Structure 1
Amino acid sequence: MLVVRYSALGDVVLATSVLDPLLATFPGARIEWVTDAAYAPLLEGLPQIAAVHTLDREGPQSAVSLRDRLSRRFDLAIDLQNKVRSAVIARAAAPRRVTFRRRTAGRALLALLGSDPPLARAHATQLYADALAPLGVRGPGPLRIHLSRHAQALAADALGHARPPLVAIAPGARWATKRWPVERFAEVAEALAAEGASIVLAGGPDDRDAFAAMCAHLRAPVAADLSPLPVDALAAALARVQILIACDSGPVHLAAAVGTPALALFGPTSTVRWEPRSPGRALSLGLACSPCSNHGSDSCPEGHHRCLDDLGAHAVVSAAREMLAGRETATSER
């Protein structure tokens, strides 16, 4: 069978929750996966996946090229992306297809009328499992990503001699409304550094502007910057930290996949849909206007962005302290 989910980072990681249930339902099945080249290292090497196919906008890895190459090779295609490119691939790949359904016209109308909260229906992993219900899948499984030895070596080198507890801070987010003010992140980092934590900046190349903006307010040293790392090495580095503090973004789900507690700060998006898996925690003010968006936007529809602007640094520091204390207790009891 072929699974298609190629973006974005957090969605791809969350979609791996279908792997174990699929193999439990279809023992011995051969699963192949289509994803973006940037995320392929997270899937390559997983025992649950026999082959990973990378998708690009054009060239030999374009949707049309993959359509031709994968045509009629499978008995079942599972389209968890539900976009034009994924449909092109899935329709050619197999005679039987299962597709992840986004919000229907009926649900959109109910949402406008205030009669249905589609953004708070269920966690993303449960929605993926629901899409597979016609196949006999009843619930989500664990998140699965692969950390190669090379990725782990890169992570160890990036973290160098930073002393625990390591607190990773990820101030970046693709959409403006999901970003907590960088000066608040700096306050949190300073407070935890004053208590002995080593501060690690977590994210990718696109987050460097957020790093620079945060560091302009930061009076504590930064032990490591993980932005040069490929995504699998970033995941390996997150496996080595004690906690991640982040906006609602991809690194939150990477941390969840490797068992690191993530404190995720939510504003416009749904904690029900996107909260990090245990031992992570979502922090939200729970305003009446939230959630207002599935993925965030460029500006607040209400014009005030109070959902994140009103979240104080003290609340985040307090939650982080609790999570760090819980991590220390769990470690000492092993």
Structure 2
Amino acid sequence: MIATIERIAIFRALQLGDMLCSVPALRALRRAYPGAHIVLIGLRWAHSFVERYAHLIDELVVFPGAVGFPEQEEIDAHLPAFWEAMRSRRFDLAIQLHGSGGVANDIVAGMGARIDAGFLKPGEAPRAGVFIPWPDALPEIVRCNALIGALGIDARCTHLEIPLTPQDTRECNALIKRLGLDIARLVIVHAGAQLPSRRWPAERFAHVSAALAREGWQIALTGSTGEAAITARIAASPGVEAVDLTGRTTLGGLATLVARARLIVCNDTGLSHVAAAMRTKSVVIASGSDTRRWAPLDRERHRVLADYPPCRPCAFRECPYGHPCALSVSVAQVLDLVHAQLRGASAFSSKSLTTHAHR
């Protein structure tokens, strides 16, 4: 462990699911340096993340964007002012926890910290500081921990967490009362994802929802405000009886509801990591993504369905090939896995599936 570290910057300008995967690494870092001022350099939305994880992060600095970072405007015009402001902070340690290396390492190097740390992608020249080769085969949580471990910090714990507040509980209780939610038979269906290439077809989510409703399960549809069109299509589908919670929950209220639900059915998106953090069983339909990297670590509690055409993992916002990875996962396969999860892990039979979670 590096001595005399008082000011730490962490570069990770990513969305909710990605940030949740870094929580074990952040926890290990805070445990190693309890008195340090830790700054997250991230996206604007992450103000709420920093508020919730105030025990791990002290401050958010919004990353202004750069070419090669599609989460915000891809221009370099704001970088000189950003670097000047970061150099004035005189960070002792700057950690590139954003990605495989390259330009992300250049962003961190421009901050002028006393020590830099990060990943080096294949073929990248060595850099001064604490850098490790990009561990491509590791799950994201373990990958983040590996970099923190290279700093001499014990980072073996992989448990996710979402701290809940009394306000989160009040919000959830109010939803349950107002909408007549029956926790004993509640299944949450989350059909959205930031990228269209990561979405299983909405009509297939509708078929799953209708089948479960016929069996007596109560369906709650969740999503962000921008996903309202997707959930509205499902809610209006024949046979679907569902409570539509799209845009009606905060992260804390939704996490509290997830913790109480019987099962989550979702794409490989942020809610799958919320389910992992809240220890709620899930069925995850993973379209396009690298399941080695993003699938939940507990493969018993969280069952992942995925097909593997040659174009996977996907680098496209919208699939140009007809979306075979999504269309190859059938409604019947998802329902088989849903029923196994609702009965219990002992009822799971791998013979009912033709796809695999461990690739």
TM-score category by the smaller chain? 0.7 to 0.9
Mapped to 2, the partners of 1:277 and 1:42 lie a distance apart of 22
Letter in 2 for 1:79: Q
Deviations, residues 87-119 of structure 1 (Å, cap 9, x unaligned) = 657743732121244x4358xxxxxxxxxxx99
Mapped to 1, the partners of 2:92 and 2:242 lie a distance apart of 51
Q: Percent identity?
A: 24
Structure 2 match to 1:13: 20
CA-based RMSD: 3.2
Mapped to 2, the partners of 1:53 and 1:199 lie a distance apart of 36
- Give TM-score scaled by structure 1 length: 0.79
Structure 2 match to 1:289: 310
Deviations, residues 237-288 of structure 1 (Å, cap 9, x unaligned) = 3222221111111111122122222211113222111102322121113x34
Letter in 2 for 1:320: V
Secondary structure of the 1:153 match is: helix
Structure 1 match to 2:302: 280
Secondary structure of the 2:329 match is: coil
User: Structure 1's 35 and 260: CA in aligned 2 closer, same or farther, altered over 3 A?
Assistant: farther
Mean Cα displacement is larger for which, 81-90 or 136-145?
81-90
Q: Does 1:53 align with 2:60?
A: yes
Q: Does 1:238 align with 2:226?
A: no
Q: Which structure 2 segments of 5+ residues have no match?
A: 1-7, 66-77, 125-133, 348-359
Deviations, residues 58-93 of structure 1 (Å, cap 9, x unaligned) = 9xxx87469627833532122212596896577437
User: Equivalent of 1:132, from 132, 148, 165?
Assistant: 148
User: Structure 1's 210 and 280: CA in aligned 2 closer, same or farther, altered over 3 A?
Assistant: same
User: Structure 1's 218 and 91: CA in aligned 2 closer, same or farther, altered over 3 A?
Assistant: farther
User: Structure 1's 228 and 45: CA in aligned 2 closer, same or farther, altered over 3 A?
Assistant: closer
User: Structure 1's 322 and 290: CA in aligned 2 closer, same or farther, altered over 3 A?
Assistant: farther
Mapped to 1, the partners of 2:175 and 2:87 lie a distance apart of 38
Q: CA deviation at 1:56?
A: 6.2
Q: Which structure 1 segments of 5+ residues have no match?
A: 107-117, 330-334
Structure 1 match to 2:220: 200
Structure 1 match to 2:70: none
User: Structure 1's 35 and 233: CA in aligned 2 closer, same or farther, altered over 3 A?
Assistant: farther
User: Structure 1's 220 and 122: CA in aligned 2 closer, same or farther, altered over 3 A?
Assistant: same
* 8 Å Cα contact 2:50-2:57 kept in structure 1: no
Q: Does 1:304 align with 2:322?
A: yes
Give the number of the structure with larger relative contact order, counting CA–CA contacts within 8 Å between residues 6 or more apart: 1
Structure 2 match to 1:228: 248
